[in-house]
Amino acid sequence: MSKKDNILIIGAGLCGSLLALRLAQRGYTVNVYESRPDLRATDISAGRSINLALSDRGLKAMRLAGVENKVKPLCIPMYGRLVHDTEGNTFPSNYSGRDNEYINSISRGDLNGLLLTEADLYDNLTIHFNKKCTGVDIENNIASFYDYKTKEEFTAKGDVIFGTDGAGSSLRKSYYLERKFLFSYSQNYLTHGYKELEIPASAEGKHLISQDYLHIWPRGDYMLIALPNLDGSFTVTLFLSYDEGEYNFNNLTTEEAIKNFFNSKFPDALALIPNIAQEFANNPTGALGTVKCSPWHYKNKNVILGDAAHAIVPFYGQGMNASFEDVTVFDAILEQHEGDWETIFKVYEKTRKADTDAIADLAIDNYYEMRDHVANPIFKEKRAIEMA
């Protein structure tokens, strides 16, 4: 094997763009195929959530790729949580007893765009946008694509193929459909979904509530959180059941019902979201699920990383951080075993799976604790705070 190995990556999201960058830095020839248009040139939401909490694990991966100093100016440190009660009172709740501990709010689009721009600096790396992978012949390492621009189908071959195409991964589907090996797979959805809303900036472009916190309105089996953006706005996320309880996505269908819900449960937030009914109706309701599977690779040919291998629910805010950590761990194993892809893939999964299973289970536990312990309001509130 030589560094001239032709690497094919499916998906240029957070994990795929970082992985591509790192492999290009190591000298491989890398082609990345992404189903969406280039998010730097198009007015599209980069993906599932508008902003995310970036932790030390994620920053470590940025350091590895030499981009930490460019990522940091995009970060807004959140030094703890600010809890909002139903009367509109607030009180801080630190992440731990340690001083100056913080997690960073960052725009998914800005971060993904930065990684793509860094990737563009490498002549041995090419990103092909608007190309959706429709399946992979995992034995011959030939991926099939549909080009949204030309409306044509085509195939591309890689010496090694990486699937970083998120929770609905096409490579993972091919593992399942081709039945060439014993592939264990589970996907479990929660009965809660999420909807994003916005607290706009003030007329002067300032934050209307403190930007130093992750804001949280815990209400037991549902809650609202808000993370600050650099432009002075906040992205607000409502986690709510689809069809259980007094309030749910299925019964909040009229302007009156939406306003009544927010007025009675989140009055201070309602005052900050002028277009609540319109946003609620127009913005999609996203599903939340956990994907577990094994093995993550086929022979010495192809492998899945990031959400493609281990999508988790967002109640610890660690999915992206875990996906970035995948690249850190993978890179260290590649360093040790370069030239032997099958060993690299095996050691990688052996090293990594226990950790990704653990964070998946912790995130689910927090969801169930919050949902099921509805009898005790103090407990309810405590659990919901731990989620955020």
At 114, which amino acid appears? L
Nearer to ligand FAD, 148 or 379 (CB): 148
Q: CB of residue 105 vs ligand FAD: minimum separation in angstroms? A: 8
Beta pairing partners, 155: 144
Q: Which residues bind ligand FAD (CB under 6 A)?
A: 10-16, 33-36, 47-49, 52-53, 132-133, 164-166, 168, 170, 194, 237, 286, 306-308, 314, 317-321, 323
DSSP string, 207-232: -SS-TTSEEEEE-SS-EEEEEE-TTS
Nearest one of 269, 136, 144, 295 to 200, comparing CA atoms: 269
Q: CB of residue 43 vs ligand FAD: minimum separation in angstroms? A: 16
DSSP string, 314-377: GGGS-HHHHHHHHHHHHHHHHHHHTT-HHHHHHHHHHHHHHHHHHHHHHHHHHHHHHHH--S-H
Nearer to ligand FAD, 308 or 334 (CB): 308
Nearer to ligand FAD, 190 or 273 (CB): 190
The answer to whether 230 touches 107, Cβ cutoff 8 Å, is yes
Nearer to ligand FAD, 11 or 295 (CB): 11
Q: CB of residue 256 vs ligand FAD: minimum separation in angstroms? A: 27
Task: Compute the radius of gyration of the chain from its Cα atoms.
Answer: 21
Q: CB of residue 187 vs ligand FAD: minimum separation in angstroms? A: 14
- Omega of the bond prior to 295 within 30 degrees of 0, cis? yes
Nearer to ligand FAD, 279 or 340 (CB): 279
Q: Which residue is nearest to ligand FAD (CB)?
A: 13
Cα gap 327→237, rounded to integer Å: 28
Nearer to ligand FAD, 117 or 260 (CB): 117
Q: CB of residue 207 vs ligand FAD: minimum separation in angstroms? A: 18
Assign 3-state DSSP to the chain and report helix, strand, coil percentages, each to 5.
35, 25, 35
What six digits make up the tokens of 193?
């979904």
Residues 6 or more apart from 22 whose CB is under 8 A from it? Answer: 64, 65, 327, 331
The answer to whether 274 touches 234, Cβ cutoff 8 Å, is no
Q: CB of residue 1 vs ligand FAD: minimum separation in angstroms? A: 25
Nearer to ligand FAD, 18 or 333 (CB): 18
Q: CB of residue 134 vs ligand FAD: minimum separation in angstroms? A: 7
Q: CB of residue 191 vs ligand FAD: minimum separation in angstroms? A: 15
The answer to whether 209 touches 202, Cβ cutoff 8 Å, is no
Nearer to ligand FAD, 170 or 302 (CB): 170
